Amino acid sequence: MPKVERFEDLEIWKIAVGIAVEVYILCDSEPLKSDWGMKDQIRRAACSMSDNIAEGFEYNNNPDFIRFLNYAKGSSGEFRNKLTILVSAGKIDQVVFDDLYNKSIDFSGKTKTLISYLKKFEANKKSK
């Protein structure tokens, strides 16, 4: 894997930002526009994915980055939970749910792959 100089270069960060932007746009329309509590919670969960990648990367060491990648992955699960509640309550339609849910699953899978890569890299450093 080539060395990444900035978190903005990471594909998972780009996916997470794309999800957050879609959620912000979604929340500007009814029925979420007037549901202050859920609107705030789903926005926070969506933004937390890219926030944790950015923060963890900036610590400039793999153990901290791995920890924050795990937080980002956890936020993805929280986000999918909120999507499930919204679609079940009829607050978003199935097409919106499917799109955001699949993007979140893609994010989680790629984040897990990066975590595994970094853990192996760290283990190899220690064994030398």
- Residue 67 near residue 114 (C-beta atoms within 8 A): no
**pLDDT, position 4:** 84
**pLDDT, position 18:** 98
- State what percent of residues in the chain have pLDDT above 70: 98
Helix (H) or strand (E) segment spanning residue 99: helix 94-127
What tokens were used for 68? 């924050």
22: nearest Cα among 91, 89, 103, 90 = 103
**pLDDT, position 128:** 66
- CATH for 7-127 is 1.20.1440.60
Digit-coded pLDDT (tens) for 21-42: 999 999 999 999 999 999 999 9
Band the pLDDT of 2: cuts 50, 70, 90. Answer: low
Q: What is the pTM of this model?
A: 0.93
Digit-coded pLDDT (tens) for 95-125: 999 999 999 999 999 999 999 999 999 898 8
Band the pLDDT of 3: cuts 50, 70, 90. Answer: confident
Check whether 127 has a pLDDT greater than 90. Answer: no
